[in-house]
Amino acid sequence: MTDHAPQSPAPGTEFSVAADSESAGPTATTVEDFRTNLAAVRARLEAAAAACGRDASGIRLLPVSKTVPEERLRAAFAAGITEMGENKVQEAKRKSENLAELGIRWALIGHLQTNKAKDAAVFADEFHALDSMRLAEALDRRLQAVGRGLDVYVQVNSSGEESKFGLEPDEVPGFLEQVRACSSLRVRGLMTLAAHTQDTERVRECFRLMRELRDAGLQAGTVGDGQLSMGMSGDFELAIEGGSTCVRVGQAIFGARQYGYDHYWPEGQPRA
Ligand SMILES: *Cc1c(COP(=O)(O)O)cnc(C)c1O
């Protein structure tokens, strides 16, 4: 396993959480725009990794393309973006069908209702928001029916915010034991959305909790290769400091979305 143990950032490098209004890069439409934004995000990722003594090659950048229309996804693909994260199954399925010839790898990263497991099973390459046995069993059944497997990340509510999906931290060890029975699901690790605040200590605390749960899962042999899917446009440097192995980045690559965070987390407040 790669060394995920984070160090404090080097002196003079203090990471912070961006306000929502400052999380987005310029809107990318052309291939050139995407190259520019992608290079800027990669530079941030590499700087964050270097600052806490991590090898950037152990940190995956998952571009999040939700709400972005297909024409722009073609440009993104031409700029080298070959995997995309989506948080609504219907939108993701439509995109996967209409862009099928590109061979994009689709990651479902948002809450999935059990009755949508069938849709997800036919096209998703990975799923980052597994949060109940009912859903795990529904996915397993549907995957077996179509002869597919699925990489999954178990979502944890690390912030205690009511608007967040995910298992409560104390439910995680038992869930990981139980989900072993679903043979089509390959558990790769854990996923979270940190507290939606600019208070860096609170955000750090979420990532620290995730690392502890992951380490316990590695000890128990229940958490696959122990990946940690955490960090988004506004907080991915802190997530890297906290041991993230997969940052899910939308607005810093694609540009500001039409809908703000309150569209996805209705009870949440914006990061001021
Ligand atoms: C939208 C979304 C992201 C990316 O958020 P950005 O602020 O656009 O980087 C990450 N994870 C999940 C689950 C999301 O829904």
Neighbours of 35 (CB within 10 A): 17
Name the average pLDDT for the chain: 93
Minimal-distance CA residue to ligand 1 atom 12? 109
CATH number of 69's domain: 3.20.20.10
Neighbours of 177 (CB within 10 A): 13
Please state the three-class secondary structure of the chain as a single string.
Answer: CCCCCCCCCCCCCCCCCCCHHHCCCCCCCCHHHHHHHHHHHHHHHHHHHHHCCCCHHHCEEEEECCCCCHHHHHHHHHCCCCEEEECCHHHHHHHHHHCHHHCCEEEECCCCCHHHHHHHHHHCCEEEEECCHHHHHHHHHHHHHHCCCEEEEEEECCCCCCCCCCECHHHHHHHHHHHCCCCCEEEEEEECCCCCCCCHHHHHHHHHHHHHHHHHHHHHCCCCCCEEECCCCCCHHHHHHCCCCEEEECHHHHCCCCCCHHHHCCCCCCCC
Minimal-distance CA residue to ligand 1 atom 6? 250
Q: Assign 270 a pLDDT band (cuts: 50, 70, 90).
A: low
Residue 66 token pair: 């939700």
Q: Is residue 23 part of a domain?
A: no
Convert the pLDDT of each residue in 169-219 to its tens digit. Answer: 999 999 999 999 999 999 999 999 999 999 999 999 999 999 999 999 999
Q: Which of 22, 37, 44, 64 to mutate to test the pocket of ligand 1 (most atoms within 8 A of CB)?
A: 64
Q: Is the CB of 109 under 6 A from ligand 1?
A: yes
Q: Is residue 162 part of a domain?
A: yes
Minimal-distance CA residue to ligand 1 atom 11? 248
Q: Is residue 270 part of a domain?
A: no
Q: Is residue 150 part of a domain?
A: yes
Q: Is residue 271 part of a domain?
A: no
Q: Is residue 251 part of a domain?
A: yes
Q: Is the CB of 24 under 6 A from ligand 1?
A: no
Minimal-distance CA residue to ligand 1 atom 8? 250
Q: Is residue 263 part of a domain?
A: no
Q: Is the CB of 246 under 6 A from ligand 1?
A: no
Q: Assign 93 a pLDDT band (cuts: 50, 70, 90).
A: very high
In the predicted model, is pLDDT for residue 21 greater than 80? Answer: yes
Name the CA radius of gyration of the chain, rounded.
18
* Cβ-proximal residues to 271 (8 Å cutoff; 6+ apart), any chain: 17, 18, 19, 20, 23, 196, 197, 198, 234, 261
Q: Is the CB of 165 under 6 A from ligand 1?
A: no
pLDDT at 2: 45
Range of the domain at 54: 31-257
189 to 15, 104, 214, 218, 266: CA distances (angstroms): 25, 22, 7, 9, 27
CA 14 – ligand 1 centroid, Å: 23
Q: Is the CB of 190 under 6 A from ligand 1?
A: no
Q: Assign 9 a pLDDT band (cuts: 50, 70, 90).
A: confident
Count structural domains, the chain. 1
Mean pLDDT, residues 3-32 taken together: 82
In the predicted model, is pLDDT for residue 265 greater than 70? Answer: no
Half-sphere exposure (Cβ direction) of 123: Cα atoms closer than 13 Å: 24
Q: Is residue 18 part of a domain?
A: no
In whole angstroms, give the CA distance from residue 172 to residue 260. 30
Q: Assign 7 a pLDDT band (cuts: 50, 70, 90).
A: confident
CB 150 within 8 A of CB 126: yes
